[in-house]
């Protein structure tokens, strides 16, 4: 306990620390070096033969920021993110439609894509003069087995490749804007036909993963806990896309709402953020 006393010899007043209010203690005056005994107390009555002290100062007060009132913002963000999760899972279940729908919209406004193909045999040697039919156009590869084309309509397209002595191969490829769709096509010896559909499983898995992040962000928003997890998960949920990018738009809105209501979140054991 901190207090103030006066030296009985030189009358010097100074502040000191006493171990306990119930025990007498011996003090050395810092001014004259005189030793004397004091009795720490808060009592106003002071016997003549003893030096007393009085408590110095007041207990330190901690001033905390006021807690802002709870709003419905985190709940609204959670509802939006649950919608993103549902849209993402639906898109993953119908991944063909998910891919084709936005590309059809872009195609309707005149956007196209480009394609690079390299036709090889099973020993990875290039095959020249291979017949290729793509997007309603019939052509052939050059002597190096290459074929390039621009202004190809967007979406999942069938490429039919044929050459005497090899199986006729029909393969589905994805054509998107701004990025050239490059593929190596391996032709097998023999007769007959072979069909290779576009693999949407990988696309579905990616959509499911990012949709789960939307659900995680929704849970954190409902609980108003772990703001950092809610923010990061909301950002990742943007890549769940959804039909016509609806999932991405909703995720961005939810992220903005979470950031605006960040004062309502708790960070685990650390308590509220002020």
Same domain, 124 and 258: no
Q: CA–CA separation, 208 vs 201, rounded Å?
A: 11
Q: Which two tokens stand for residue 129?
A: 């003069």
pLDDT at 48: 47
pLDDT at 45: 46
pLDDT at 46: 47
Flag whether the pTM goes above 0.85.
no
On whether residue 64 sits in a domain, the answer given is: no
Q: CA–CA separation, 90 vs 92, rounded Å?
A: 5
177 CB-near residues (< 8 Å, 6+ apart) = 106, 111, 112, 113, 154
On whether residue 18 sits in a domain, the answer given is: yes
Sign of the four-CA dihedral 120, 121, 124, 128: negative
Same domain, 220 and 189: no
HSE at residue 239, side-chain half, CA atoms within 13 A, is 14
Where residue 136 falls (left for φ over 0; alpha for ψ -120 to 50; beta otherwise) is: left
pLDDT at 106: 82
Q: CA–CA separation, 23 vs 37, rounded Å?
A: 10
Dihedral pair phi/psi, residue 107, rounded to 5°: -65, -35
CA 257 to chain centre: 15
Same domain, 187 and 116: yes
- Domain extent for 17: 2-55
Residues in the chain with pLDDT < 70? 1-2, 18-23, 39-68, 244, 267-274
**DSSP code of residue 141:** -
pLDDT at 271: 42
pLDDT at 2: 67
69 CB-near residues (< 8 Å, 6+ apart) = none
Q: What is the CATH number of the domain that holds 46?
A: 2.20.28
pLDDT at 91: 85
Boundary of a domain, candidates 173, 199, 225: 199
pLDDT at 214: 95
> How many domains is the chain partitioned into structurally?
3
What is the secondary structure of 174-215 as a DSSP string? EE-SSS-EEEEEEPPBSSSEEEE----HHHHHHHHHHHHHHH
């Amino acid at each position: 306990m901190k207090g103030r006393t006066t030296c009985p010899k030189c009358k010097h007043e100074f502040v000191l620390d006493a171990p306990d209010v119930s025990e007498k203690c011996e003090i050395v005056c810092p001014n004259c070096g005189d030793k004397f005994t004091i009795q720490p107390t808060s009592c106003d009555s002071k016997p003549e033969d003893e030096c007393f002290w009085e408590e110095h100062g007041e207990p330190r007060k901690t001033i905390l920021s006021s807690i802002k009132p709870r709003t419905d913002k985190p709940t609204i963000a959670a509802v939006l993110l649950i919608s993103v999760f549902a849209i993402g899972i639906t898109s993953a279940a119908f991944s063909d439609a998910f891919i084709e729908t936005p590309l059809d919209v872009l195609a309707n406004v005149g956007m196209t894509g480009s394609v690079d193909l390299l036709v090889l045999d099973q020993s990875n040697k290039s095959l020249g003069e291979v017949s290729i039919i793509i997007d309603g156009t019939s052509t052939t590869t050059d002597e190096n087995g290459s074929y390039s084309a621009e202004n190809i309509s967007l979406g999942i397209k069938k490429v039919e490749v044929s050459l005497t002595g090899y199986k006729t191969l029909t393969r589905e490829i994805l054509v998107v804007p701004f990025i050239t769709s490059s593929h190596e096509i391996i032709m097998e010896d023999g007769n007959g036909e072979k069909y290779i559909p576009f693999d949407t499983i990988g696309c579905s898995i990616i959509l499911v993963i990012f949709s789960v992040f939307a659900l995680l962000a929704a849970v954190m928003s409902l609980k108003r806990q772990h703001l950092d997890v809610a923010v990061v998960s909301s950002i990742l949920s943007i890549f769940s896309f959804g039909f016509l990018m609806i999932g991405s738009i909703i995720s961005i809105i939810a992220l903005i709402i979470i950031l605006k209501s960040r004062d309502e979140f708790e960070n685990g054991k650390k308590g509220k953020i002020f």
